[in-house]
Amino acid sequence: MSQAREKPPSVTVATLLETLDCGRATLYRYIDRGLIPPPVDARRGRPALWGSDALARAKKVRKLIDQGYTLAAIEARLGEE
């Protein structure tokens, strides 16, 4: 039986910003609140990269924002998953 290899992180900050339709400060506020996971690869002098899980989470967050949920309600909802 072979183990499935996990894909290397490839989601850029630009992709997340576009998905969330927000600015960089807002993205990092979402990360601080636990709505979006932090970058998987964030070495000094190199662009930060996220895994595909962060992109999926960003899509959920954007959808909930579009439906009128507050950030506190989104935190509670995502915490139940």
For the chain, domains (ranges, CATH) are 11-79 (1.10.1660.10)
pLDDT value of residue 3: 53
pLDDT tens for 26-79 read 999 999 999 999 999 878 888 899 999 999 999 999 999 999 999 999 999 998
pLDDT value of residue 77: 93
pLDDT tens for 7-28 read 777 899 999 999 999 999 999 9
Encode 18-70 in three state secondary structure.
HHHCCCHHHHHHHHHHCCCCCCCECCCCCCCEECHHHHHHHHHHHHHHHCCCC
